[in-house]
């Protein structure tokens, strides 16, 4: 099959694209509602894009009522946010947290999701996710006709479940099986890690 993109509407292309870029990591984003509660929502148009400085990107769109999604508003107004890599066991909480609530209402409170405080962090993290990035707004670029917000967050601090960390030869090595990351496919489908393949590169046998 060949898909000539100009022949399809934006909605059709969205539906096609989310089935083709596979699997996608999920940024489970906690942001500050500014009223003492926290917003939580998943975004799978997400990746790490630079390491100097360390920057993550999430792409955030609009609610059906044509207002900006709460994550976009919160990060615009209050800068700091936490990106989690959700665990496979959290798939239902991830899905629940994508529910559209009025601005200022908390998915964490609505769905009974547990958060915990970390020393020195201005925002809490979701319990059960093996990785959490404390980020600070770096830039927001509006892209496309609708437009979509490309939110760039500079990572200030990273929390990693100690169970998944080892330190051979002073390197930080993370066991992805212990992290058990949840990934998104198209529609309502998700994926788990599956088999890990190890292939040494001729020029970098130690990896990297
Ligand atoms: C797994 C998953 C991934 C999603 N990825 C995105 C995404 O990349 N961009 C986006 O705008 N919405 C995405 N959504 C939809 C948002 O999570 C949803 O619109 C949510 O209500 C936004 O919440 P907020 O208004 O509290 O920010 C995704 C939903 C799910 C379940």
Q: Secondary structure of 48-66 in the HEC alphabet?
A: EEEECCEEEEEEECECCCC
Q: Which two tokens stand for residue 27?
A: 């940024």
d(CA 181, CA 131): 9
What is the Rg, in whole angstroms, of the alpha carbon atoms belonging to the chain? 18
90 within ligand 1 shell (Cβ under 6 A): no
* pLDDT tens for each residue of the chain, 208 residues long: 999 999 999 999 999 999 999 999 999 999 999 999 999 999 999 999 999 999 999 999 999 999 999 999 999 999 999 999 999 999 999 999 999 999 999 999 999 999 999 999 999 999 999 999 999 999 999 999 989 999 999 999 999 999 999 999 999 999 999 999 999 999 999 999 999 999 999 888 777 6
Give me the number of domains the chain comprises. Answer: 1
Residue 17 CB–ligand 1 contact under 6 Å: no
Dihedrals φ, ψ of 70, to 5°?
-60, -35
Has residue 201 been placed in a domain? no
Confirm or reject: Cβ of 69 under 6 Å from ligand 1: yes
Q: What distances in angstroms separate CA 51 from CA 17, 34, 48, one per listed residue?
A: 27, 30, 8
Atom number of ligand 1 nearest to Cα 46:
8
Domain interval for residue 176: 5-191
Classify each residue of 121-151 as buried b or exposed e, where b means 16 or more C-beta atoms within 10 Å of its C-beta: bebbbbeebbbbbbbebbeeeeeeeeebbbb
Most informative mutation of 35, 41, 86, 96 for ligand 1 (most atoms within 8 A of CB): 41
CATH of the domain at 134: 2.30.110.10
In a domain, 202, yes or no: no
The verdict on pTM exceeding 0.85 is yes
Give the Å distance between the CA of 183 and the centre of ligand 1.
14
Ligand 1 neighbourhood includes 89 CB (under 6 angstroms): no
């Amino acid at each position: 099959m060949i898909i000539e993109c100009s022949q399809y509407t934006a909605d059709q292309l969205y539906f096609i694209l989310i089935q083709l870029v596979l699997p996608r990591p999920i940024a489970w984003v906690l942001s500050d509602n500014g009223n003492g509660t926290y917003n939580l929502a998943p975004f799978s148009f997400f990746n790490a894009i630079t390491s100097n400085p360390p920057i993550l990107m999430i792409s955030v769109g609009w609610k059906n009522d044509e207002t900006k999604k709460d994550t976009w508003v919160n990060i615009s107004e209050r800068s700091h946010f936490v990106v989690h890599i959700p665990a496979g066991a959290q798939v239902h909480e991830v899905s629940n947290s994508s529910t559209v609530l009025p601005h200022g209402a908390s998915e964490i409170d609505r769905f009974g999701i547990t958060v915990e405080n970390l020393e020195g962090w201005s925002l809490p993290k979701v319990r059960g996710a093996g990785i959490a990035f404390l980020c600070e707004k770096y830039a927001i670029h509006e892209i496309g006709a609708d437009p979509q917000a490309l939110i760039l967050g500079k990572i200030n601090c990273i929390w990693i479940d100690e169970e998944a960390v080892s330190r051979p030869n002073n390197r930080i090595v993370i066991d992805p099986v212990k992290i058990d990351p949840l990934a998104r496919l198209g529609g309502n489908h998700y994926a788990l890690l599956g088999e890990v393949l190890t292939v040494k590169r001729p020029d970098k046998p130690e990896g990297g």
